[in-house]
Amino acid sequence: MSSIRSNRRLLMAAGTVLALATTAACSSSSTSGSGSAGGAAHKKVTLITGVKSDPFYITMSCAAQDEAKAKGMDFNADGSAQWDVSVQRPLLDSVAAARPDGLMIAPVDTDALTPSLKQIQSSGTKVALVDTVVSDPSVGITRISSDNEKGGRVAADALAKQMGEKGSVIVISVKPGVSTTDARIKGFTEEMAKYPRIKVLPTLYDNDQPATAASQIQSTLAAHPDLGGVFAGNTNTGKGIATGLKQAGKQGTVKVAAFDAEPDEVAALKDGTLQVLVAQDPASIGKGAVDQLAAVFDGKPVDKSIGTNMVAITPANMNDAGVSKYFYKSGC
């Protein structure tokens, strides 16, 4: 998510989603779901993200929308209110019925949605996996995401420095079985093993609920007075941890490294509640997915795997133009 996510988050906020353009009705039915000759123009492409209200996915959707428009493609975005297989599956059922030419999707589970995605692929829809992936390598013409394991390592090193390389540290994330946040946790815990005076506590999962993360960090503080740091696996978790620390009067005392750079997290970085943000580049993910689908439609080569940039944001560099461009959007 991306992030966990935040977890790592879907559909753009009101006003950011384009309906399928009426010009699509003028296209020949032979183009639907086929990726047939004729190029990218007027091809129907759908984006399904992880949580519709998450600025990470809003930023991704805005960039994908702009790129699709530039290429003359008919773009539609959809999403759910929470990171949950049972909520995302009906959206996939709708895609299967509509049979667009291309589907960009951030699957909320590494395995549970694979049968639906394979069915959609078999009908002729080209699938691009964005942000998160599934275990089956046959799904997707391309997979575009951050190097989340590396991001976890970056977070560990930055947080260890903030903690003076001593004390207890905990990871709070979305849920097990999410490719992005699983990789972040792996990178973080492996890197923290390099700091012998830091004790890594068992990972907690908040089901992408900020209120749960706030409660968990307060309970952890009570049980572990030496808690010196916490790693938030995604946007919503970072938001909840910031709230919990403020309520506990531990703002700035317990150091926090969080994934993503959504508006609330940036505000928390400014006021000292968060010390490090590991920002992804969701705009590049959205643009890249559209570009890869367009390549397929144009009969050009496709990159099977694409990694995008990440940047560590701190109070010292957050005003630099080369860094602030990674801040996420709350709308297009």
Is 331 part of a structural domain of the chain? no
Calculate what percentage of the chain has a pLDDT beyond 90. Answer: 71
Is 138 part of a structural domain of the chain? yes
Residue 79 pLDDT > 50? yes
Residues 32 and 73 in one domain: yes
Phi-psi region of 155 (alpha: psi -120 to 50; beta: other; left: phi over 0): alpha
The tens digit of pLDDT for each residue in 247-277 reads 999 988 999 999 889 898 899 899 888 999 9
Residues 224 and 87 in one domain: no
Q: What's the pLDDT score for residue 234?
A: 86
The tens digit of pLDDT for each residue in 269-298 reads 998 889 999 999 999 999 999 999 999 999
Residue 319 pLDDT > 80? yes
CA 34, distance to chain mean position in Å, is 28
Q: What's the pLDDT score for residue 178?
A: 85
The tens digit of pLDDT for each residue in 149-192 reads 999 999 999 899 999 999 999 999 999 988 889 999 999 999 99
Read off the CATH number of the domain in which 117 is found.
3.40.50.2300
Is 204 part of a structural domain of the chain? yes
Is 170 part of a structural domain of the chain? yes
Q: H helices within 71-137, ranges in order?
A: 85-98, 114-122
Q: What's the pLDDT score for residue 38?
A: 54
Residues 316 and 220 in one domain: yes
Q: Write b or e for each residue in 22-44: b if 16 or more Cβ atoms lie within 10 A of its Cβ, otherwise e.
A: eebeebeeebbbbbeeeebebbb
Residues 127 and 212 in one domain: no
Is 78 part of a structural domain of the chain? yes
CA 246, distance to chain mean position in Å, is 26
Residue 94 pLDDT > 90? yes
Domain carrying residue 247: 148-280+312-324
Residues 268 and 291 in one domain: no
**Could you give the angle at the alpha carbon of 183 between the alpha carbons of 180 and 186, nearest 5°?**
155
Q: Identify the DSSP state of 63.
A: H
State which of 9-18, 120-129, 154-163, 250-259 shows the largest mean pLDDT: 120-129
Q: Grade residue 239 by pLDDT with cuts at 50, 70 and 90.
A: confident
Q: Which is nearest to 173 in space by CA: 109, 259, 108, 88?
A: 259
